[in-house]
Structure formats: C-alpha cells, structure tokens
Amino acid sequence: MVTAAGGCGLAAVVDHQDEDAVAELVARITKEKGHLDLLVNCVWGGDNKAQWGTAIDALDVGKGRAMLDQAIVSHIITTKAMLPLLRLGTDPLVVEVTDGAGGFFRGALFYDLVKNAVIRLAFATAESLRESSICAVAVTPGFLRSEAVLKHFGVTCETWRDAIATDPHFAHSETPIFVGRGIAALAALDADAKAARNGRVFASWGLATEFGLTDTDGSVPNWGAHAADSDFGRDHAASHARFLNAFPHQPSPP
C-alpha cells in the first residue's frame, strides 16, 4: 500500500510487547535508515478483550490486563526503544492513535482505560521530552472502516455501504487512509508548528479541515459533526463534562 502510493513500504513482523523483538527492529532501522522522523504507536488488537456490556463485578480481569499490556505497555516499550533514532531525526514526532478526542466514558471499563490512557501517554511523552526536539500528540479516527470492522459487518472496502442498513452511523465512516493523511500532514510540519501542537489531541476530521484533506473517494467524513448531532454524541459530551468536573476548580493544581 505504501509503495503503491509512491513511498517505500518495508514490512516487519514484530511483537511490540517483547523488548528484545523491538530492539531487533531498532537495529534494523539503524542499519537501513540511521534515524527515525515519525513513530506511530497504533498497536491495538483488543477487540476480543473489550467485554462490552459486562458489569464490573463480572469482568474477566485477565483479559483486561492483557489488553493493557497489548495496547499501552507495547506503546511505551516501542517509544522507549525508538528514542535514540528519533533524536537523530528531523523534527521528530510520536503519534499515539486512540479512539475518541475527549475524556468521556467509552462504554467498557478496560476499553475506556486503554483509549484514555493512550491520550494521556501522548501528553506524558510530550511533557517528559519537552526539553528535547521530539514532540508527541494523540490522534483519533472517526468510525473507522478497518479490516476488523469490515469483517464484523460482513462487507468489503468496495461494498461497505451495504452495512449502513445495519448501522446508519456507518454512513459517516472513513478509511484508515483518511486519518493516515492527517498524521502525514502533522509529520510534515516544521519544528515550531509541531511544538505548538505538542501534547494535544487531534481528530481525523479536524485535521482534514485544517490541511484540506479528503478520503480516498474524495469525500471529507466528519464524525465529530455527526456525533454532535446524535444522541450518543450528546451522551459523550455529558460524560466528558462530568470528567472535567471531577477536577478541583482552581487556577492550578496543588
């Protein structure tokens, strides 16, 4: 896919929970490229561990712990290992891919912990590396037409619209290319522009508006606008407000 788009795509099979395996990847990149300008942490694979609709007292904690390791600790392992290469890069950027651009509850306890922790991880990385040239942000897609989602609906990239009858919200979905183009636009910014965005959270639809991007079919999906006009989006907004209200209302933390 990368090569077809004009780049040079080089695949590597890596278990990002295995520090030795990640170290081998670092060695390969060091040998072949010598530096790293952009790191996108997008390891997930936790759909079968999300436990949607499960009460807290019925949760399988083992599954939840595995999700935390798989989707958070793997990101930390990778960023830690890649730092020497990033320090040699040009205006280096770390991107943490999450789900949702707010602090709202995401419907399942462990899933919520992961997706909010990934946002916090981008902020913590930015704060930890503030004296360096490395910046970090979090980015969320909207309703993503990933391979897993297409499989769930029993459709393909070509027939995805057939799933709208099952879930009308799917009409506002987007391809992974859409958020990828937003990340590429962030990566192309100069050091000052990256610094101005350091530690923040961005959404694919916002990046599309800012940088004039489209999806592969020329459309500009706006999941945020659709959510704002939907009951679930209003529920998310109320949940986000409750989260913010959990913090003391004072000018600065103690």
Per-residue pLDDT reduced to its tens digit, 99-136: 999 999 999 999 999 999 999 999 999 999 999 999 99
Residue 5 pLDDT grade (very low, low, confident, very high; cuts 50, 70, 90): confident
Instruction: List pLDDT tens digits, range 135-169.
Output: 999 999 999 999 999 999 999 999 999 999 999 99
In a domain, 124, yes or no: yes
Can you read off the two tokens belonging to residue 69?
A: 């390791």
Domains held by the chain: number: 1
In a domain, 143, yes or no: yes
Residue 210 has pLDDT above 60, yes or no: yes
Instruction: List pLDDT tens digits, range 34-92.
Output: 999 999 999 998 999 999 999 999 999 999 999 999 999 999 999 999 999 999 999 99
In this prediction the pTM is 0.94
What pLDDT score does 39 carry? 99
38: left (phi over 0), alpha (psi -120 to 50) or beta: beta
The number of C-alpha atoms within 13 Å of 98 and in the hemisphere containing its C-beta is 30
Q: Which domain holds residue 192?
A: 38-244
**Gap between the Cα atoms of 118 and 97, Å rounded:** 7
In a domain, 58, yes or no: yes
What pLDDT score does 253 carry? 56
**Gap between the Cα atoms of 122 and 134, Å rounded:** 12
The distance of Cα 162 from the centroid of its chain, to the nearest Å, equals: 26
Give the domain CATH number at 146.
Answer: 3.40.50.720
The distance of Cα 185 from the centroid of its chain, to the nearest Å, equals: 15
In a domain, 4, yes or no: no
In a domain, 31, yes or no: no
